[in-house]
Chain A
Amino acid sequence: MRYWEDFEIGAIERYGAYEVTEAEIVEFATAYDPLPFHVDPQAAKDSPYGALTAPGLLTCAIFMRLLVDHLLLDAASLGSPGVDSVRWTQPVYAGDTLSVRQEALSKRVLESRPEMGLIKNRFEVLNQNDELVCEIASNGLFRRRESPGAPA
């Protein structure tokens, strides 16, 4: 189990291999982001993207799945207050395989809740050619291993 203390500033982790299929793109896009170049392969071919592309939020959701599997299910995670910025830098196409590169940028204890701490991370979502497709600056809350007032 990883606690707030276990995250080292500057530490880099690389994980995940998630293949994005055409079926998943069409299903997600139909439900949440039904633009022609996300739901219709023919329309996508005629668009500036040239082929079906994943909605940006599907890339974020896949990032989340990789983060949960790699880190959060085995950490004293207390959720996230939010995401400072997300940049979609290149299209994600059907057949791409996505992975995550994580770097811890800073950490601090919450003054109002000293039993927990905040960690700012920079995440890069990369495709199979190591090209950056999405950049996420995010915040995570984690329980402290030794917190004031905790039972001994």
Chain B
Amino acid sequence: MIHYEDLTEGDSVDLGPISPTAEEVVDFARRYDPQPFHLSDEGAKNTYFGTLAASGWHTAALTMKLMMTGRDEPLASLGSPGFENLRWHKPVYPNDALTARVTVAGKRLSKSRPEMGLVQFAVETRNQHDAVVMSFVSTSMMARREPG
């Protein structure tokens, strides 16, 4: 398990790749984001996307999966209070190969909860052309190996 102590400010890791199939893109959109351009090629014609594109929240969920499961060991995460500056820079299309570059942007101990620390991750999700498709900065509550 990767604990608070194991993360050093400035450390960066590339996780993935992961590729959503067209079926997965459509399944996610049917449940959570049923706008025409996320449901079929036909519905995406004459829009910004051109062809079927993944919901931005699907891209965020896939990136979360890489953050939680993409390392050699699982993160000793206790949850998250939130994230900031989420930007969807480019469309994600079915079968794009997504990787997440996760950089430790900051860390500090929690005053009120000595069993954990707060870690800021700067995250960039890229496609197979090395273009950034999404970025955000998240905060994670990470368990300490030796609670203070």
Whole-angstrom distance from the CB of A79 to the nearest CB of chain B? 6
For chains A and B in complex, what number of residue pairs have CB atoms within 8 angstroms?
A: 81
Query: Which residues of chain A come closer than 8 Å to B68, judged between CB atoms?
Result: 32-35
Contact status B60-A84, CB under 8 Å: no
Q: Is the CB of B57 within 8 A of A57?
A: yes
Interface residue A127 (Cβ < 8 Å from any Cβ of B): no
Q: Which of B35, B69, B88 contacts A73 (CB 8 A)?
A: B35
Contact A57/B88 with A48-B78, A79-B48 known, Cβ cut-off 8 Å: no
Asked if A17 CB lies within 8 Å of chain B CBs, one says: no
Q: Are B33 and A88 in contact (CB under 8 A)?
A: no
A110 within 8 A of B: no
Q: Find out whether the CB atom of B85 lies under 8 angstroms from the CB atom of A84.
A: yes
The contact of A32 among B31, B61, B84, by CB within 8 Å, is B61
Contact at A64–B57, with CB atoms within 8 Å? yes
Range for the number of chain B residues in contact with chain A: 20 to 34
A32-B61, A85-B82 known; A64 and B87 CB under 8 Å? no
Interface size on A, residues (CB 8 A): 33
Interface, chain B (partner A; CB < 8 A): 31-35, 48, 55-57, 60-62, 64-65, 68-69, 77-88
Binding site for B on A (CB under 8 A): 28, 31-35, 37, 48-49, 53, 55-57, 60-62, 64-65, 68, 72-73, 77-88
17 chain-A/chain-B pairs, Cβ below 8 angstroms: A32-B62, A32-B64, A34-B68, A49-B79, A57-B60, A61-B31, A61-B57, A64-B32, A68-B33, A73-B35, A80-B88, A83-B86, A84-B85, A85-B84, A85-B85, A86-B84, A88-B82
